[in-house]
Chains A and B, each alone.
Chain A
């Protein structure tokens, strides 16, 4: 079709397409210049850090660079028996260099991540290596400590040869690569991350459900009340937005603690006895209550914006055609609010899955989420690569949910306002 149609020319004889592009170029440049600052800002504050995080979570160059000669010598080693003398010699050479730079401590920390027991034998090796004679390093090193004569420890060193590693991700799933190079789960009593992942999903799911149950009637009321009242109600919904997150969480602490207002009230009306006050914070309940309240506006607003567009005459039509109020609601009103429900649930779920301050303050031990674990590794153990790995796992989890949502409901169906 297009090949048959004649090229359309403007009155001046220039092809129409060329002329149109020329006319629009200026506008395009203007539009780009307007968004350029934001674009650069996003690249600097968002794309770079995430890229860096991704890199950090798989980066394992440190050991590779500390023991370059050792790993070169190990290339031909099959890992069955103890390595040959040349490997020991190369290791000795690398090690002396590290001691000169005072970096052997870092090596011991890194190797200890891979296998427990490296710390002490590296310390011992440093002391003894000062009196090493030239030649026959295998014998000399093996005599420092019996673990140096254990092939397991040499295999552990070899496992650190690659520049990139997936071990942080495995650790996030409570798994590791064992001596035979197979991926296995850690012992049951040491699995902490899987529990946290499941709990994070569980809390995010229920917070979404609670938010939905509470927000739907509020949003409906907001959308149907006369302007005078709905404005006031809207302010009440938005008021938490204008209050600091920390203040809101702290006020929940005041309300929910065992000697707090809610408990006093329960005791006052005789619902519970004074010496049997329920624990409502520093556990899951605390996380549920506080997170639901804090995330509620994110559910109300998309629902409201969708409900606002639904003409009240639709419900009336449903009723006048013979539908009971419930049928009119369920068959007419509810299906029309699905885009808002989708948007609200997605928003609340994604926010809840990465929630941090509130669970840290009111969640206690049984109410903390995976993001608290990430923060713990960022601040306390300083294992940033592990924190990055878990952060990325969280991010990909969110993307999977987004993808699933798109498959099931369709992302075009979403309406945020």
Chain B
């Protein structure tokens, strides 16, 4: 059985609310069957609009959306058969948990005994057996969230949309719910389109992440690629922590380039620069830079420790390096022998391969 690579297809989709500003610009996105894809971006980046267009609550201004090969722009939401989890759960407050779950089954005229089985199954999936007769108001936030997930899955949709479903939960609960949703996805193989602005959520849960900004997909790739190999400076800065150096390309040859900073030169990996003289922003992940490197590295510079912040499992060190006073280093606590003290001068090194020379934006 071959997996449908274009289970959901956004084809040249534009969306504007007022006829003046495009909230979504020329969106081209394929989602494979069974995939967990996350739309990640700052607020106002168009990610929720995309989700709403897929659910049928907004219509594309231009272009077409295909679900399993069928154009769906003219199909009303209730005929699309897409499960959805809303930001604030949207549980029906006047119905019990059982009635909430029975709602999609009842409108589909599924016989009661079959419906009861499905409801039991859905409730056990989110480990809420025995809560069927409670009202939503009597449940905690996490439990309401689980009910909302169960309700979106109870009628066996092939596609489930989740619109920042964990936004209202506290940090610990959010993390455990992330794993729970991930496991549910793995066990039933449903296609999930998940919207969030929380990058750690996106990184832990998804097969692929589409980073949105300014109505456009900036990068669509797997979490590790997104983190290790951002293609532009927006993605580099939006995902994870990032050290940047702004400068000008002084020399370029194959996989290496020389970038001239205000008063130094560094070696970098040319990603989006092509020729000498281009402005660029060099991005370097904090954990890729080492203190007193033993191996030979093609970038070794001296910096002064400005601030030391204890974080339990690691220590963050802020260093004034090559004119950048915000250079951050993450030092694992096992390396306690290092001489990290405020005001000390230390040697810092990294490989040019990890320093990605991106667009100057």
**Chain A residues in contact with chain B, CB under 8 A?**
311, 313-314, 316-325, 327-328, 331-332, 335-336
Contact = CB atoms under 8 A, between A and B. Distances in A.
B103 A313 contact: no
Contacts of A327: 107
A313 B87 contact: yes
A323 B100 CA distance: 12
Contacts of A328: 78
B81 A322 contact: yes
B57 interface: yes
22 contacts: A313-B88, A314-B92, A316-B57, A316-B84, A316-B90, A317-B86, A317-B90, A318-B103, A319-B57, A320-B55, A320-B80, A320-B161, A321-B151, A323-B78, A323-B104, A324-B78, A327-B107, A328-B78, A331-B92, A331-B103, A335-B94, A336-B94
Given A317-B91, A328-B78, 15 more contacts: A313-B90, A314-B90, A316-B77, A316-B84, A317-B86, A318-B103, A319-B57, A320-B56, A320-B161, A321-B83, A321-B155, A322-B108, A324-B78, A336-B93, A336-B94
Contacts of B86: 313, 316-317
Contacts of A323: 78, 103-104, 107
Contact of A332 (B88, B92, B155): B92
Interface in B276-291: none
Contacts of B79: 322
Most buried by A among B78, B81, B104: B78
Nearest to B83: A320
B53 interface: no
A13 to B, nearest CB: 41
B107 A322 contact: yes
Contacts of B83: 320-321
A285 to B, nearest CB: 39
A332 B100 CA distance: 10
Contacts, number: 67
Contacts of B76: 319, 325
A322 B152 CA distance: 11
B103 A321 contact: yes
B12 to A, nearest CB: 25
A319 B107 CA distance: 10
Given A313-B86, A313-B87, A316-B57, A325 B78 contact: yes
Nearest to B99: A331
A327 B76 CA distance: 14
B285 to A, nearest CB: 38
Interface of B: 55-57, 76-84, 86-88, 90-94, 103-104, 107-108, 151-152, 155, 161
Given A332-B92, A335-B94, A336-B94, A321 B87 contact: no
Contacts of A317: 84, 86, 90-92
A354 B57 CA distance: 46
Most buried by A among B88, B103, B151, B155: B103
Contacts of B55: 316, 320
B104 A321 contact: yes
A311 B81 contact: no
Given A313-B88, A327-B107, A331-B103, A320 B77 contact: yes
Given A311-B90, A314-B90, A332-B92, A320 B107 contact: no
A113 to B, nearest CB: 56
B291 to A, nearest CB: 50
Contacts of B77: 316, 319-320
Contacts of A311: 88, 90
Contacts of A322: 78-79, 81, 104, 107-108, 155
A331 B94 CA distance: 10
Nearest to B52: A316
A319 B103 CA distance: 10
A321 B107 contact: yes
Given A313-B87, A327-B107, A331-B103, A320 B82 contact: yes
Contacts of B80: 320
**Which 5 residue pairs of A and B lie closest in terms of their CB atoms, listed nearest first?**
A321-B104, A317-B90, A320-B84, A313-B90, A319-B77
Contacts of A324: 78, 107
A318 B102 CA distance: 12
A245 B83 CA distance: 52
A318 B107 CA distance: 10
B175 to A, nearest CB: 24
Nearest to B163: A313
Contact of B78 (A314, A320, A332): A320
A318 B95 CA distance: 12
Contacts of A319: 56-57, 76-78
A216 B91 CA distance: 23
Nearest to A328: B78
A332 B91 CA distance: 10
Contacts of A325: 76, 78
Contacts of A316: 55, 57, 77, 84, 86, 90
A354 to B, nearest CB: 33
B91 to A, nearest CB: 8
Contacts of B87: 313
A337 B84 CA distance: 24
Nearest to B94: A335
Contacts of A318: 92, 103
Nearest to B154: A321
A202 B88 CA distance: 44
Most buried by A among B82, B87, B94, B155: B94
Contacts of B94: 335-336
Nearest to A316: B57
Nearest to B91: A317
Nearest to A332: B92
A336 B136 CA distance: 14
Nearest to A323: B107
A133 B82 CA distance: 108
A322 B103 CA distance: 9
A221 to B, nearest CB: 19
A324 B93 CA distance: 19
A324 B77 CA distance: 9
Contacts of A336: 93-94
Contacts of B104: 321-323
Contacts of B151: 321
A316 B82 CA distance: 12
B59 to A, nearest CB: 14
A316 B92 CA distance: 11
Nearest to A315: B90
Most buried by B among A313, A322, A331, A335: A322
A403 to B, nearest CB: 25
Nearest to A335: B94
Nearest to A320: B84
A280 B107 CA distance: 46
A350 to B, nearest CB: 26
A327 B77 CA distance: 13
Contacts of A331: 92, 103
